[in-house]
Structure 1
Amino acid sequence: MPTDAVVLALNSGSSSLKYGLYAVESGVPASLLSGTIETADAHGSFFDAVATALSKVSAPAPTVIGHRIVHGGPHRSEHCVIDDAVMADLETACAFAPLHGPASLALIRMAQARYPGVPQVACFDTAFHAGMPEVARTLPIPLAYRADGLRRYGFHGLSCESIIRQMGDDVPQRLVIAHLGNGASITAVENGRSIDTSMGLTPSGGVMMATRTGDLDPGVLLHLLREKAMSTEALATMIDHGSGMTGVSGLSGDMRRLRAANGADINADLAIRMFERSVCKQVAAMAASLGGIDMLVLTGGIGEHDAATVQSIRTGLAWLPGLRVNMIASQEDDQIARHASLLAPPTAGRSQAGT
């Protein structure tokens, strides 16, 4: 098979591990195999599962491995080949994304051990937002703290990149992309570039999510620390794992389960309505940043598959004149394969390490 590279794209999220094997020819990836492991606890056996899947279809060994990295931290704003300096920066960035960073680092190290000599590429979700204007990226905190890298970074950048690539010449001047899944964020895109986004320093802010609070009055956190003597560890767990639709419903953050309970469980109904309202408010905020909106694209697990949520968002934003709403599938893994094949050394396509 004549290819530029065979890329194993690894997408480590907060609730799943996804992988895809791609043969890339002339910069265009063709999917050979894909799969998902639903629990982060499976990191230890992840590559055994991948190897088994590859052997069943006689797939070629990867010549390049691309990783989705949620947070690049203050020192990494472009996709890059992973070396010792990059690993050191990723260690530092874990302070900004403790929900995702350590798991991604562990996966990189396991990939290096499993496929020695095969180039590894870091694809940053934050890279797409690196050029946001100062008014969007600056947090309203003292300058001394901002100097330490505390700013709005933005996330789901690979998803946004994939949407814009799929739209090609049809990208409108004022586009809002709503990535709605276990994690959710809303991004304002002007002439193909991110100019504002709902998530901030970490992936915990912005829209109410499956288990994350989204934006929250800081006074709530201070109250819990002062009056409830909550530890920072317990507070972090509450913010990222025990809140959002899970916290409100007391049932689940999975929209499918909430829909199944809707009508019989008032808290499930409330959680759904709060999520839908949160999305609409953030879309309106991004329209303000753009000075109007030509198109809203819904993507991610909920945005692509939950018709009731899509209809509710359409209804909630019907006051916006001439709004077009499209559903486009996110292709994060495909985007990883494209970046990895371009950034890997030219000799990567001839390597057979890991067989």
Structure 2
Amino acid sequence: MANPPTVNGPTGASVAPGATETTGAAARECLVTLNAGSSSIKFALFAIADGTLDLLARGQVEGFGAHPRFEVKPADGPEISRDLAEDEDAHDHKAALETILGWLGENHPNACVVAVGHRIVHGGLKYAEPAIVDDALMAEVEALSPLAPLHQPHNIAGIEAARAAFPGVPQVACFDTAFHRAHPFVNDVYALPRRFYDEGIRRYGFHGLSYEYLARRLAEIAPEVAQKRVVAAHLGNGASMCALRNGRSIASTMGFSALDGLAMGTRCGQLDPGILLYLMTERGMDAAALTELLYKESGLKGLSELSHDMRVLEASETEAARDAIDYYVFRIHREVGAMAAVLNGLDAVVFAGGIGENAWRVRARALERMHWLGIELDPAANAANAERVTTRASRIPVFVIRTDEEAMIAEHTLRLVG
């Protein structure tokens, strides 16, 4: 592995002593962000200058456990992509981080990493703001793993790998649930005995870092509507919607866990809890079997019996694939209406995420059913994934914004570590 970036933390630790001397250039303070998922780690490298952040590169290692692949887009060059051979062993978070550090060390040898920011899916009741990582925080976020089993363990693994790679350097946890913590009581409570709400069984909402970025970006491109009533849809392998007023979250389609609301790649979305009782009592399914069913075998994958990937389903001619897309579109249409009701009206819609930003046919089918809201689609703009996909005559504008969770993680990290 090539020399990783020099690390100068509070303790003076250095992963690659002397790396800057070999280049003859001065060290450059940098910040790294890590977004660890179940089979990938996304990363970004930012230079810090006069309290501002300058993106140097972003990328990911994905597919470990199967076919690992490294992708990176430098800010000043073409995208790099290559399959990782099995002998490189990029099959877990630690090995994937080594691959990332190797590339950074080779291409940014003067980078002096002074902080690392992480995305953590669930912050529970306690964490409504980003926080410095310590052993107590690690224990608390690990205790929340049952509420986000697809994500939390891997977020933790990413932090552990980074703490080992960057000893003494501040690590910052940024929570996806934090953006939603100011919801009104009625939007977060379930109609169970009140003690359960007090104990933390409530709606948390997720994708908060994405929605925080979308609210900020909308204020830049459409300030006339950004502080009004907005429904934002983060549609990817995980999918949710958020009702925004004055740039703040009022309600989310996701609830206690990341299973609720819209259908997703492999997750079921909204489900009658009576189904779970039936599967337990009549089919003999235990918690482990239900977890596998609801998190990994449902959603688009389960409905289509083909794939969780919208691109595969759109290319398929099977009836099951068409049915899966029909249901996905139906739920988008339904939840936009529900979020508009929560907001007592609607002034703008935003699409983001892998599907929201790129699957123009899905957007078209969803929006064409929303004439009753005053939405008039511009087919050419929509097919081009333009920033605005409605006509100028449309009473409600619809925007496509490429979300940037890494930028939000970096900003929170820089603010917290000063």
TM bin (shorter chain): over 0.9
Deviation at 1:104, TM superposition (A): 1.1
Structure 2 equivalent of residue 34 of structure 1: 58
Which has the higher relative contact order, 1 or 2, with Cα contacts under 8 A spaced 6 or more apart?
1
Pairing partner for 1:222 from 239, 252, 277: 277
Structure 2 equivalent of residue 328 of structure 1: 401
* SS of equivalent residue, structure 2 residue 373: coil
Contiguous gaps of at least 5 residues in structure 2:
1-24, 66-91, 375-394
Deviation at 1:109, TM superposition (A): 1.1
* Stretch deviating more after TM superposition (139-148 or 152-161): 139-148
Change (3 A) 1:320 1:111: same
TM-score by length of 2: 0.79
Preserved CA contact (<8 Å) 1:81 1:121: yes
* SS of equivalent residue, structure 2 residue 365: helix
Pairing partner for 1:25 from 49, 65, 69: 49
Change (3 A) 1:4 1:25: farther
* SS of equivalent residue, structure 1 residue 311: helix
Deviation at 1:39, TM superposition (A): 3.0
Pairing partner for 2:141 from 64, 86, 90: 90
Contiguous gaps of at least 5 residues in structure 1:
347-355
Deviation at 1:35, TM superposition (A): 1.3
Output the CA distance in 2 between the equivalents of 1:210 and 1:100.
14
Deviation at 1:40, TM superposition (A): 5.7
Matches within 5 A, 1:249-268: 249-261=304-316, 264-268=317-321
1:243-286 C-alpha deviation (Å, 9 max, x unpaired): 0000000000100100110xx20000000110111111111110
TM-score by length of 1: 0.93
1:191-236 C-alpha deviation (Å, 9 max, x unpaired): 1110100000111111011100000011111111111101210100
Output the CA distance in 2 between the equivalents of 1:62 and 1:160.
27
Structure 2 equivalent of residue 299 of structure 1: 352
Output the CA distance in 2 between the equivalents of 1:300 and 1:277.
18
* Stretch deviating more after TM superposition (179-188 or 14-23): 14-23
* SS of equivalent residue, structure 2 residue 371: coil
Letter in 2 for 1:265: T
Preserved CA contact (<8 Å) 1:250 1:267: yes
1:122-166 C-alpha deviation (Å, 9 max, x unpaired): 000111001011111112211222222110001101001111121
* SS of equivalent residue, structure 1 residue 63: strand
Structure 2 equivalent of residue 106 of structure 1: 157
Structure 1 equivalent of residue 366 of structure 2: 313
Output the CA distance in 2 between the equivalents of 1:226 and 1:299.
40
Structure 2 equivalent of residue 66 of structure 1: 117
Output the CA distance in 1 between the equivalents of 2:289 and 2:100.
35
**Are 2:217 and 1:166 aligned?**
yes
Preserved CA contact (<8 Å) 2:259 2:295: yes
Preserved CA contact (<8 Å) 1:174 1:295: yes
Report the count of equivalent residues. Answer: 343
Matches within 5 A, 1:170-249: 170=223, 171-249=226-304
Output the CA distance in 2 between the equivalents of 1:300 and 1:27.
29
From the CA coordinates, give the structure whose radius of gyration is larger. Answer: 2
Structure 1 equivalent of residue 34 of structure 2: 10
Identity of aligned residues (%): 41
Deviation at 1:44, TM superposition (A): 2.8
Preserved CA contact (<8 Å) 2:128 2:177: yes
Change (3 A) 1:40 1:341: farther
Letter in 2 for 1:44: K
